[in-house]
Structure 1
């Protein structure tokens, strides 16, 4: 974690406080630069001359001179611990100073006696390391130039801070491995605020490795759910409402992912699906801070994609004598096949057959009054739910069209769901749809009236109250269960 042994051999420690500090061959501005140093680098002080400190850089294994005003010297003794902690408290909330703050944290951990080391230093390390990783993953970094940012990452690595990285949408996603946060949760004296930061730091959605296999992903989601439930009710009771909202949003997303995984492996997913809905419903929108609005929308999409897990499974025998009905059948291992049957066409000779590796939510199936159109929700991924529309054509054959939430890439960072919201009867029948998605970083929610049989959008709006068709024909079951009307 934090390699205080890196500092143990340094009798007198100089911490570089300014970026692009030159390590020179002699104590003069005109002397050749041996190396460029960055804030947070630790140097061993071996002497002083002409306003310069003679130092040895153990990381680069070379010596030289640095200006005394560009470093902060400490002996890192027990008597220095209070001062080091005070500086750490000041620096930890300064964006762009994470490498410097982690260096002071390492010096404090070396100086302070073990009996006095509590969760505060580890909380600061985790907070700064996570912020540094977020900035390194950002496409537009205006706080720290890229050269300095890379040097800061390398510098804190010398203190034992570790990262995980993977590619997402053509960019590298960097994440802190969370070791300091784990230490915070292991300490009984951690405050509720420190526990909350640790829990949120360890359960980020965007730090899930996209190459995880389904079983590995489910195991990790179970672990995340356990971490999110670690805080006692008493500890949560003293947290501000905006922090509780953060925890609810994270739980909602994790339990929605678990519901999908359980349904995919044919386990009972109703409890997980209901927990996801309950956590989302518990969010107090009026207490959301501005920076959490995007996470609120993301959580709603995650829950919306898996919301059918909370609904009871269909019961009873379908009345195929009255109208065509959808049933499902096992295909290849892990595959589900959807069959359209009626009184004359059973599962051996169905009217239509379509297979998928996703989850078919048969409890979402709906039929128009004439029995010539059916819809069903199909979820191929934890954060992506499609709508399958099955229609009877003029030649008496049945066709199936897949409506995606948006023209995005569900295997990347895009997410969304589209769902049946009602059916407009009459001479000009239409289908009511609700869509919510985030594609290429942009969130969208809209309600649509689609013409039949082309399924082209006739009208749409950001709220259903604007559309007359929704006022008259929206499905009561959809209105009761959807999260799009939050």
Structure 2
């Protein structure tokens, strides 16, 4: 029965790692057994014929109690709707929930695990297997396979719901499949991100799988990746809670032994670790932790990214690789120790930083005539100011500075001298709503009127990388290309330090 399966699923998944070989067998199911719906919009009718009144429309994965047989129909009882009726035998799979049937159920679960669109059915079949299998079996490799499959079904269903195109038919099916999953105790969280809904699996099965001794490296890797999806971090989490979550994600990923994984899966773990450690470096810098700790987190992020083998990177993972690279690039200045403030000489500006309001960092531009009490320019931010990135052009009329307001999003501040005095302009990675991106200084063009900028960003679902010649006044782009070799002025005047350290040329 549906209520029995829902209760059993929660109990068995929670206790799978502690079930001993001598554990008592699970309760036996009724003589006529149960039936799992295998077709969407299967009709529950009042009589065993096609023209009979339709009582309800059923969806794949729903479970019914079998109470009899009539012609090619089964007489069933739907505990969720508290309604009986008849359903075609071809629209369901009968299950006896006995230990003898467990291997066959697991074989079907394995097949459905690789079938997109059958997630609700897979969850129902997995629940049936968990009831049918013995305690000894659930504590072993087969139990780990079942819990792995459950996590895969739930995570894939959440991804489908998040990326579904608008449409009444698809929306109705997805909503029904989510309801079926919820009926088995599989929970989802929903967040609003940029005007759309992000659906994420709560992750109970994945967490349990990581604690199961019988789980292999590939299963642990899939569970860890499901638990650490960056798009499934609650955007409304306070900063201190987000830092705790990032530390937990790093610990989860550390439990995965990448040595024996297939190349593509090993790459995914490396990319996710790079993203998480990049986030950790940003959060530590924002909390004003010691520079060595921040540098260590950033170094770990870079090490993980360098562990990605491009030769074993499938096309569907290119977007994840680019996102990981941008998140690491956003914190790469943590690897460069901030130099001691230089003494101001003449009219050439020097950068200083000082605390502002709680949580703020203020950037001051001073020279020999204008000290910290009356600076040439003062601007404050709640972002992380990477002071080591500050660079001044030869003419002393502009200063470029990297400032990171968000995880994976680093802007370029340009402090420039104008007729009215010194001004601060901000060049973002893209004009779109912040998602992931980096805008970085790449060199000064002699003459004091232009600079070189490398930008890459993902916004509104699109990824773009460009190399630009930017006019200092107004930060307008004069020339742009996606291939740095196609821009001779960029080739000639690019900063050697930028070329040596940047990830934009990967």
What is the TM-score when the length of structure 2 is the normalising length?
Answer: 0.91
CA distance in 1, matches of 2:71, 2:446: 90
CA distance in 1, matches of 2:164, 2:35: 33
Q: For residues 111-155 of structure 1, what are the alpha-carbon distances to aligned partners after superposition, in whole Å with 9 as ceiling and x for unaligned?
A: 00011012000000111111111001114279x822122111111
- Using the TM superposition, give the Cα deviation of residue 310 of structure 1 relative to its aligned residue in structure 2, in angstroms: 2.0
Task: Work out whether 1:251 is the aligned partner of 2:273.
Answer: yes
Q: Which residue of 2 aligns with 1:24?
A: 45
Task: Work out whether 1:456 is the aligned partner of 2:456.
Answer: no
CA 1:317–1:174: 2 relative to 1, 3 Å: closer
Partner of residue 13 from structure 1, selected from 19, 31, 34: 34
Q: Which residue of 1 aligns with 2:490?
A: 470
Q: Which residue of 1 aligns with 2:84?
A: 63
Q: Which residue of 2 aligns with 1:153?
A: 178
Task: Work out whether 1:321 is the aligned partner of 2:324.
Answer: no
Q: Larger deviation: 352-361 or 446-455?
A: 446-455
CA contact (8 A) 1:20 1:37 kept: yes
Task: Work out whether 1:87 is the aligned partner of 2:108.
Answer: yes
Q: For residues 90-123 of structure 1, what are the alpha-carbon distances to aligned partners after superposition, in whole Å with 9 as ceiling and x for unaligned?
A: 1111111111111111111000001101200000
1:48-447 equivalent positions in 2, closer than 5 A? 48-117=69-138, 118-140=143-165, 145-232=170-257, 236-268=258-290, 269-314=294-339, 316-322=340-346, 323-394=348-419, 397-410=421-434, 414-426=435-447, 429-447=449-467
CA 1:317–1:92: 2 relative to 1, 3 Å: closer
CA 1:2–1:357: 2 relative to 1, 3 Å: farther
CA distance in 1, matches of 2:438, 2:426: 12
Task: Work out whether 1:47 is the aligned partner of 2:50.
Answer: no
- Using the TM superposition, give the Cα deviation of residue 50 of structure 1 relative to its aligned residue in structure 2, in angstroms: 2.4
- Using the TM superposition, give the Cα deviation of residue 470 of structure 1 relative to its aligned residue in structure 2, in angstroms: 2.0
CA distance in 2, matches of 1:96, 1:139: 12
Q: Which residue of 1 aligns with 2:18?
A: none
- Using the TM superposition, give the Cα deviation of residue 159 of structure 1 relative to its aligned residue in structure 2, in angstroms: 1.1
- Using the TM superposition, give the Cα deviation of residue 8 of structure 1 relative to its aligned residue in structure 2, in angstroms: 6.3
Which segments of structure 1 move beyond 6 Å, counting only runs of 4 or more?
6-9
CA contact (8 A) 2:5 2:128 kept: no
SS in structure 2 of the partner of residue 184 of structure 1: helix
CA contact (8 A) 1:373 1:390 kept: yes
- Using the TM superposition, give the Cα deviation of residue 391 of structure 1 relative to its aligned residue in structure 2, in angstroms: 1.2
- Using the TM superposition, give the Cα deviation of residue 374 of structure 1 relative to its aligned residue in structure 2, in angstroms: 0.6
Q: For residues 365-404 of structure 1, what are the alpha-carbon distances to aligned partners after superposition, in whole Å with 9 as ceiling and x for unaligned?
A: 0001121111111111112111111111235x21111111
CA distance in 1, matches of 2:318, 2:460: 17
- Using the TM superposition, give the Cα deviation of residue 198 of structure 1 relative to its aligned residue in structure 2, in angstroms: 0.7
- Using the TM superposition, give the Cα deviation of residue 66 of structure 1 relative to its aligned residue in structure 2, in angstroms: 0.9
CA distance in 2, matches of 1:224, 1:112: 32
CA distance in 1, matches of 2:100, 2:118: 25
Unaligned 5+ runs, structure 1: none
Q: Larger deviation: 399-408 or 463-472?
A: 463-472
Task: Work out whether 1:485 is the aligned partner of 2:505.
Answer: yes
CA contact (8 A) 1:119 1:183 kept: no
- Using the TM superposition, give the Cα deviation of residue 9 of structure 1 relative to its aligned residue in structure 2, in angstroms: 8.0
SS in structure 1 of the partner of residue 401 of structure 2: strand
CA 1:71–1:327: 2 relative to 1, 3 Å: same
Q: For residues 138-178 of structure 1, what are the alpha-carbon distances to aligned partners after superposition, in whole Å with 9 as ceiling and x for unaligned?
A: 14279x82212211111121111111111112111111111
CA distance in 1, matches of 2:116, 2:166: 12
SS in structure 2 of the partner of residue 237 of structure 1: coil
CA distance in 2, matches of 1:56, 1:29: 18
CA distance in 2, matches of 1:190, 1:452: 57
CA distance in 1, matches of 2:170, 2:415: 54
Unaligned 5+ runs, structure 2: 10-25
- Using the TM superposition, give the Cα deviation of residue 252 of structure 1 relative to its aligned residue in structure 2, in angstroms: 0.8
- Using the TM superposition, give the Cα deviation of residue 344 of structure 1 relative to its aligned residue in structure 2, in angstroms: 1.4
- Using the TM superposition, give the Cα deviation of residue 454 of structure 1 relative to its aligned residue in structure 2, in angstroms: 4.0
CA contact (8 A) 2:63 2:78 kept: yes
